[in-house]
Chain A
Amino acid sequence: MDNEIPLPPPPRIRHRAPNTPTVPSSLHKTYHQLSRFDDRSSQPSSDPALFSSDDIPASGLENYHAPAASGCRKRRYRGTWWGEMVKDSKRKRVDFKDKRLVDSGVWMGSDDSGVDSLLPSEDASIWGEELLHHSTVGRAGEVAPGEIAAGAQQRVVFRKAEESREHQLARAIVNDCLEKGQDSVDLSIGGLQQIPQGLLSPLQHLTKLPTVKEPPISEDVYSSLRPFLRMFLAGNSLSDVPGDLFDLDALRVLSLRNNRLTEIPPAIRKLTMLQEVNLAVNELRFLPWELLWLIKKGDLKHLTVRPNPLWRIDEAEISHWFSLDGAPASSPEEALTLHNYEGPAPEEAWAPIHVATGPVRLFNMEGVMVDAPPTSSTSQSSRVPSLREVSLLAFTRSPFSDLISDADMADCPGLVPSLLRQARAVRNGGGRCCSVCHRSFVIARAEWIEWWDCSVYENGLKGPRSSGEKLRPLPFRRLGCSWACVPDASR
């Protein structure tokens, strides 16, 4: 016990002496200067820690209001103790009123200055509204009205920036997949009504993590690090497909089952690696023709589209029926039945079959449907895009197409606002491409339905059509960029 090193006396006891009730009048000035210290406590709590040297008198609680000994100014440091920096001692004294309005970061029930704090709880917006009201009433006497308005405005902006819970969850899932190198992204049953821009695009760079296996190492330990990307967006309330999705060119499996989609953007053609698509339980009345292209030229092998309120061929208007070899069919019955074959299934029993084509609907330069093309001017059926089309296309490609507000659009004359809105919708859907001449476009000038039987692909290529089978064609919508881009008269 005797060998123990004696502890230094607690500083409080050592420095109790200067705490005298009689204060020399000459020190009043320094007192005012130094009183800044206790005002510091009203600074935001997130500031770096403030250290004071302990060997200075008046650092104890008892000496809180006591003046320091003359000539003995406290050295104050800002920041951590290992990277000390002497604080600028010539800071201007802030007005007391201003300081009171500084947010302490702590909100207490009785504290009506807590307006500025925002808890991340679910009902934050509800009581935030109340507090805002309280504060405007409470502060009205001391703060200029303009200041209140500015404060309120700031608050609104802040709340807008906050993401909804569903989006935060989805973002967390995406980030988790990116981190773990998981190529199956499951965002199903997430209650998503729309997918915010930029949520899916990081998945373009997803790479699988190499697996470490115990020896002995055999051939099958090595696996590709290229992801077999699968995206499950089933069971949400999406009403349109985000354009970001079509930039994930490594996507192999896509499920959009059980949503509220009314249309699949033609930009789906960009997903050339797709092998399986599930579009069931939506509000689709037709499919994009580009999906058929993925079947014929791409890798798509399993297409699930039923149930959907798809148009039915027996109710639709048909202008041409086709038989299997592409020649015009004499009757719908002939077009709708596969011919009888003997022995092994011929190639056409596997392939998609073009059954019929609907009438072509034409649109003018503003996207309004016209009954028949004016026969007088042949220039109308040229493939040259209109100046409206050219400028709208430039608009969709320009970086500022998002910056134009609806109010600005409303100032534009004529049909310009509706054209701009259409252009923005096309841009958000991933763009359009003419199904005849492959030119990018915004306003479709021609539209028609092609009926194709894809029953082999609907059951996942399990077997060919049987001999003499009745065909169940699906409606595929094709778009053309000019009045010259219409179905070939011969086919």
Chain B
Amino acid sequence: MDSTPGSSEYVTLVSGDGFEFIVPRSTACVSGTIRRMLDPSSRFSEAVTGRCVLENMSGLVLEKVCEYLCYNLKNKNQTNVPDMEIPPELCLELLMAADYLDT
């Protein structure tokens, strides 16, 4: 993506309860909100440190979010996209996470 020299290939997503997920930058940038957070021209602290703290998400939700980000990137150019399983008890929290992350 639009990586400048010095910015690493991986970024860290941190949940509200302290779980850390290290994902490729391109994967994280599927989300519009994270993309804007990590934009080097913004000079946000997230862009400098490569670490996004998502206070409003639990580790359980963020894990599923990361799964979705990978799923989205993997099937980007496919015509037959497989379904992604979502446990019903997570769907509302995921919906709110999606609203926040703009995905």
Q: Is the CB of A390 within 8 A of B96?
A: no
* Chain A, Cβ-Cβ closest to B103: A387
Chain A residues with CB under 8 A of B78: 382-384
Q: Which of A384, A400, A416 contacts B76 (CB 8 A)?
A: A384
Chain B residues with CB under 8 A of A392: 91, 95
The segment from A115-123, A141-149, A337-345, A407-415 that touches chain B is: A407-415
Separation of A399 and B100 alpha carbons in the complex (Å): 25
Separation of A111 and B7 alpha carbons in the complex (Å): 84
Q: Is the CB of A383 within 8 A of B91?
A: no
- CB of B24, distance to nearest CB on chain A (Å): 15
Separation of A395 and B76 alpha carbons in the complex (Å): 24
Separation of A414 and B30 alpha carbons in the complex (Å): 20
- CB of B54, distance to nearest CB on chain A (Å): 14
Q: Does A388 contact B (CB under 8 A)?
A: yes
Chain B residues with CB under 8 A of A385: 81, 84
Interface residue SS majority, chain B: helix
Separation of A420 and B93 alpha carbons in the complex (Å): 12
Q: Does B77 contact A (CB under 8 A)?
A: yes
Chain B residues with CB under 8 A of A387: 65, 68, 72, 94, 97-98, 101, 103
- CB of A480, distance to nearest CB on chain B (Å): 13
Chain B residues with CB under 8 A of A391: 86, 90-92, 94-95, 98
Q: Is the CB of B88 within 8 A of A388?
A: no
Q: Is the CB of A398 within 8 A of B95?
A: no
* Chain B, Cβ-Cβ closest to A392: B95
With most chain A CB atoms within 10 A of its CB, the pick from B75, B88, B98 is B98
- CB of A9, distance to nearest CB on chain B (Å): 75
Chain A residues with CB under 8 A of B90: 391, 394
Q: Does B21 contact A (CB under 8 A)?
A: no
Q: Mark B31-51, 1 if CB is under 8 A from A, else 0.
A: 000000000000000000000
Chain A residues with CB under 8 A of B87: 394
Q: Is the CB of A439 within 8 A of B81?
A: yes
Q: Is the CB of B95 within 8 A of A419?
A: yes
* Chain A, Cβ-Cβ closest to B65: A387
Separation of A390 and B85 alpha carbons in the complex (Å): 8
Query: With A395-B92, A398-B88, A439-B81 in contact, do A384 and B71 touch (Cβ < 8 Å)?
Result: yes
Chain B residues with CB under 8 A of A331: none
Query: How extensive is the interface on chain A, given as a class?
Result: 20 to 34
* Chain A, Cβ-Cβ closest to B68: A387
- CB of A392, distance to nearest CB on chain B (Å): 6
Separation of A358 and B43 alpha carbons in the complex (Å): 46
Q: Which of B75, B88, B99 contacts A415 (CB 8 A)?
A: B99
Q: Does A20 contact B (CB under 8 A)?
A: no
* Chain A, Cβ-Cβ closest to B99: A414
- CB of B68, distance to nearest CB on chain A (Å): 5
Q: Does A397 contact B (CB under 8 A)?
A: yes
Q: Is the CB of A388 within 8 A of B103?
A: yes
Separation of A14 and B75 alpha carbons in the complex (Å): 97
- CB of A422, distance to nearest CB on chain B (Å): 12
* Chain B, Cβ-Cβ closest to A383: B81
Chain A residues with CB under 8 A of B100: 413
Separation of A393 and B102 alpha carbons in the complex (Å): 17
Q: Does A386 contact B (CB under 8 A)?
A: yes
Separation of A421 and B37 alpha carbons in the complex (Å): 31
Q: Mark B55-86, 1 if CB is under 8 A from A, else 0.
A: 00000000001001001100111111101101
Chain A residues with CB under 8 A of B91: 391-392, 394-395, 398
* Chain A, Cβ-Cβ closest to B88: A398
Chain B residues with CB under 8 A of A437: 79-80
Q: A365-B102, A387-B101 are in contact. List 14 more A-B contacts (CB 8 A).
A: A365-B103, A382-B78, A384-B72, A384-B76, A387-B68, A388-B98, A391-B91, A391-B95, A392-B95, A394-B87, A395-B95, A398-B91, A416-B99, A419-B95
Q: What are 13 A-B contacts with C-beta separation under 8 Å?
A: A365-B103, A382-B78, A384-B72, A385-B81, A385-B84, A386-B103, A387-B65, A394-B91, A397-B88, A398-B89, A400-B88, A413-B100, A416-B95
10 smallest CB-CB distances across A and B, nearest first, come from: A398-B88, A394-B86, A387-B98, A394-B91, A391-B94, A391-B95, A387-B103, A388-B98, A395-B91, A391-B91
Residues of B that sit less than 8 Å from A by CB? 30, 65, 68, 71-72, 75-81, 83-84, 86-92, 94-103
Residues of A that sit less than 8 Å from B by CB? 365, 379, 382-388, 390-395, 397-400, 404, 412-416, 419-420, 437, 439, 484
